[in-house]
């Protein structure tokens, strides 16, 4: 019974180090990568701004801004990707089209008009 837990302990011990780390620094076994898509609506759907933002370990590394029409690096970590994406016309075209197929389409689905309710007079007339 005591040997059943042994492989798990050894596995957890190996997750702390990733082979190939340089400079005797250990690469973290767990990291956080997030992508966020934001739509900013100014004047309904007349003026829409689309942002595609990438985060690594809770720090923004790059983003696409539809007003600028290109990717922008926030940190040096995002610079190589931004240079590659800005050279690729198809990626830029897809990101620019996101204003219509992501933002405007979801705006129309998510917006609704509340039904007007009839005012009732309670009490004596």
State the pLDDT at residue 15: 38
Select 33-123's CATH number: 3.40.640.10, 1.10.1060.10, 3.10.320.10, 3.30.830.10: 3.10.320.10
Supply the mean pLDDT for the chain. 76
The domain limits of the chain are 33-123
User: Among 77, 39, 25, 71, which Cα is nearest to 55's?
Assistant: 77
Q: What angle do CA 52, 54, 59 make, to 5 degrees?
A: 135
Task: Considering only residues 28 and 44, tell me which one the structure prediction assigns the higher pLDDT.
Answer: 44
0.95 exceeded by pTM: no
What's the maximum distance between 2 C-alpha atoms anywhere in the chain? 87
pLDDT tens for residues 67-91?
999 999 999 999 999 999 999 999 9
CA-to-CA separations, 1 to 4, 5, 6, 17, in angstroms, rounded: 5, 8, 10, 28
Instruction: Tell me the mean pLDDT in the region 93-110.
Output: 83
């Amino acid at each position: 019974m005591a040997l059943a837990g042994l492989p798990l302990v050894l596995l957890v011990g190996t997750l702390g180090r990733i082979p190939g780390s340089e400079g005797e620094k250990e690469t973290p076994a767990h990291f956080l990568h997030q992508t966020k898509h934001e739509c900013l609506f100014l004047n309904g759907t007349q003026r829409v701004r689309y942002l595609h933002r990438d985060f690594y370990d809770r720090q923004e590394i790059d983003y696409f801004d539809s007003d600028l029409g290109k990717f922008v690096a926030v940190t040096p970590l995002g610079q190589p990707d931004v240079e590659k994406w800005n050279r690729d016309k198809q990626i830029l075209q897809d990101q620019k089209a996101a204003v219509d197929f992501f933002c405007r389409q979801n705006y129309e689905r998510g917006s609704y008009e509340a039904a007007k309710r009839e005012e009732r007079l309670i009490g004596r007339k």
